[in-house]
Structure 1
Amino acid sequence: MCCFTLDRVDLSTVSSNLSHMSTSSPVTSQVVLRGVPVVGGVQCGPVIRPGRLPVVDAPAGDVEESARAAEAARFSTAAAAVANRLRDRAGRATGAASEVLAATATLAQDRAWLGAAEKRIAGGAPAVRAVAEAVDQFVALFTQLGGLMAERVTDLRDIRDRVIAELSGLPEPGVPLPDVPSILCAEDLAPADTAGLDPSLVIGLATTLGGPTSHTAIIARQLGIPCVVAVDGLDDVAAGATVLLDGTTGTLTVDPDPLEAATAVTAAQHAAEQARQWTGPGATADGHTVAVLANVQDGAAARAARQTPAEGVGLFRTELCFLNRDTEPSVAEQAKIYGEVLDAFDGRKVVIRTLDAGSDKPLKFAGHPDEANPALGVRGIRIAEGNPGLLHRQLEAIAAAGAATGNQPWVMAPMIATAAEAKSFADAARTYGLTPGVMIEVPAAALLADKILEHVDFLSIGTNDLAQYTMAADRMSADLATLTDPWQPAVLALVAMAVRAGAAVGKPVGVCGEAAADPLLACVLVGLGVTSLSAASAAIPAVGAKLSQVTLQQCRDAADAVLATATATEARAAALTLLQ
Structure 2
Amino acid sequence: MSELRGVGIGLGVAQGPVVRMTEAMPAPDETPSSIGAEAERARVREAISVVAQELTARGETAGGSAQEVLEAQAMIAEDPTLQDEVDGRIDAGATAERAVHDAFAGFRATLEAVGGYLGERAADLDDIAQRVLARLRGVDAPGVPDPGHPFVLVARDLAPADTALLDLDKVLALITVDGGPTSHTAILAREKGIVAIVGVADGFTLANGDTVIVDAAAGVVTVDPTADEKDRAAQRAAARMSADAAPLTPGALADGTPIALLANLGKPADAADAVERGAEGVGLFRTEFLFLSSSQAPTIAQQRESYRELLEAFPGKKVVVRMLDAGADKPLAFLNDAHEENPALGLRGIRALRASEDILREQLTALAEADAQTDADLWVMAPMVATVEETVYFTTLARDYGLKTAGVMVEVPASALLADRVLAHADFASIGTNDLTQYTMAADRMLGSVAGLQDPWHPAVLRLVREVGDAGSRLGKPVGICGEAAADPMLAVVLVGLGATSLSMAPSALADVRHTLSERTLDEARSLAQVALAADDAAGARKAVADATAALSPHQKETTS
Q: Which moved more, 1:386-395 or 1:102-111?
A: 102-111
Match in the other structure for 2:99: 130
Match in the other structure for 1:40: 11
Deviation at residue 159 of structure 1 after TM alignment: 0.8
Q: Are residues 1:503 and 2:473 paired?
A: yes
Does structure 2 conserve the Cα–Cα contact (< 8 Å) formed by 1:53 and 1:165? no
Does structure 1 conserve the Cα–Cα contact (< 8 Å) formed by 2:261 and 2:504? yes
Structure 1 spans left out of the alignment, 5+ residues: 1-29
| SS of aligned partner of 2:407 | strand
Equivalent in 52, 55, 66 of residue 83 of structure 1: 52
CA distance in 2 between partners of 1:312 and 1:238 (Å): 44
Match in the other structure for 1:400: 369
CA distance in 1 between partners of 2:219 and 2:200 (Å): 8
Deviation at residue 175 of structure 1 after TM alignment: 1.6
| SS of aligned partner of 1:106 | helix
Deviation at residue 58 of structure 1 after TM alignment: 4.9
| SS of aligned partner of 1:203 | strand
**How big is each residue's C-alpha offset from its partner over 1:442-463, in whole Å with a ceiling of 9 and x where there is no partner?**
1111112122223211100011
Structure 2 spans left out of the alignment, 5+ residues: 551-561
Does structure 2 conserve the Cα–Cα contact (< 8 Å) formed by 1:94 and 1:298? no
Deviation at residue 224 of structure 1 after TM alignment: 1.3
Instruction: Describe the shift of the 1:478–1:249 C-alpha distance in structure 2 as closer, same or farther (beyond 3 A).
Output: farther
Equivalent in 480, 498, 515 of residue 450 of structure 2: 480
CA distance in 2 between partners of 1:113 and 1:260 (Å): 51
Q: Which moved more, 1:170-179 or 1:455-464?
A: 170-179
Matches within 5 A, 1:316-335: 316-335=285-304
Deviation at residue 438 of structure 1 after TM alignment: 1.0
Does structure 2 conserve the Cα–Cα contact (< 8 Å) formed by 1:149 and 1:374? no
Deviation at residue 31 of structure 1 after TM alignment: 2.8
Match in the other structure for 1:554: 524
Instruction: Describe the shift of the 1:249–1:33 C-alpha distance in structure 2 as closer, same or farther (beyond 3 A).
Output: same
CA distance in 1 between partners of 2:446 and 2:178 (Å): 8
Q: Are residues 1:445 and 2:425 paired?
A: no
Q: Are residues 1:247 and 2:216 paired?
A: yes
Which amino acid counterpart does residue 481 of structure 2 have in structure 1? V
Instruction: Describe the shift of the 1:205–1:426 C-alpha distance in structure 2 as closer, same or farther (beyond 3 A).
Output: same
Instruction: Report the number of matched residues.
Output: 549
CA distance in 1 between partners of 2:197 and 2:406 (Å): 37
Does structure 1 conserve the Cα–Cα contact (< 8 Å) formed by 2:25 and 2:142? no
Match in the other structure for 1:195: 164
Match in the other structure for 2:75: 106
CA distance in 2 between partners of 1:304 and 1:497 (Å): 34
| SS of aligned partner of 1:573 | helix
**How big is each residue's C-alpha offset from its partner over 1:535-564, in whole Å with a ceiling of 9 and x where there is no partner?**
111110111111111111110111111111
CA distance in 2 between partners of 1:440 and 1:63 (Å): 59
Does structure 2 conserve the Cα–Cα contact (< 8 Å) formed by 1:243 and 1:253? yes
Q: Which moved more, 1:375-384 or 1:482-491?
A: 375-384
Q: Which moved more, 1:362-371 or 1:297-306?
A: 362-371
Which amino acid counterpart does residue 387 of structure 1 have in structure 2? S
Instruction: Describe the shift of the 1:156–1:360 C-alpha distance in structure 2 as closer, same or farther (beyond 3 A).
Output: farther
Identity of aligned residues (%): 49
| SS of aligned partner of 1:485 | coil
Q: Are residues 1:222 and 2:191 paired?
A: yes
- TM-score (ref. length: structure 2): 0.93
Instruction: Describe the shift of the 1:176–1:343 C-alpha distance in structure 2 as closer, same or farther (beyond 3 A).
Output: farther
Match in the other structure for 1:288: 257
Match in the other structure for 1:4: none
Instruction: Describe the shift of the 1:236–1:571 C-alpha distance in structure 2 as closer, same or farther (beyond 3 A).
Output: same
CA RMSD of superposed structures (Å): 2.0
Match in the other structure for 2:555: none
The 4+ residue runs of structure 1 with deviation greater than 6 A are none
Instruction: Describe the shift of the 1:102–1:377 C-alpha distance in structure 2 as closer, same or farther (beyond 3 A).
Output: farther
| SS of aligned partner of 1:481 | helix
CA distance in 1 between partners of 2:42 and 2:112 (Å): 30
Q: Are residues 1:50 and 2:21 paired?
A: yes
Q: Are residues 1:422 and 2:391 paired?
A: yes
Does structure 2 conserve the Cα–Cα contact (< 8 Å) formed by 1:210 and 1:476? no
Deviation at residue 320 of structure 1 after TM alignment: 1.4
Match in the other structure for 1:347: 316
Which amino acid counterpart does residue 200 of structure 1 have in structure 2? D
Match in the other structure for 2:62: 93
Equivalent in 186, 191, 201 of residue 232 of structure 1: 201
CA distance in 2 between partners of 1:325 and 1:63 (Å): 40
Match in the other structure for 2:345: 376
Deviation at residue 319 of structure 1 after TM alignment: 1.3
Deviation at residue 38 of structure 1 after TM alignment: 2.7
Match in the other structure for 1:568: 538
- TM-score (ref. length: structure 1): 0.90
**How big is each residue's C-alpha offset from its partner over 1:334-370, in whole Å with a ceiling of 9 and x where there is no partner?**
1111222211111111111111223453334334112
Which amino acid counterpart does residue 109 of structure 2 have in structure 1? A
Match in the other structure for 2:31: 60
Which amino acid counterpart does residue 274 of structure 2 have in structure 1? A
Does structure 1 conserve the Cα–Cα contact (< 8 Å) formed by 2:484 and 2:505? yes
Q: Which moved more, 1:415-424 or 1:275-284?
A: 275-284
Does structure 2 conserve the Cα–Cα contact (< 8 Å) formed by 1:283 and 1:290? yes
Instruction: Describe the shift of the 1:500–1:521 C-alpha distance in structure 2 as closer, same or farther (beyond 3 A).
Output: same
CA distance in 2 between partners of 1:48 and 1:300 (Å): 35
CA distance in 2 between partners of 1:370 and 1:165 (Å): 34
| SS of aligned partner of 2:453 | coil
Does structure 1 conserve the Cα–Cα contact (< 8 Å) formed by 2:115 and 2:446? no
Match in the other structure for 2:131: 162
Match in the other structure for 2:268: 299
| SS of aligned partner of 1:284 | coil
Match in the other structure for 1:525: 495
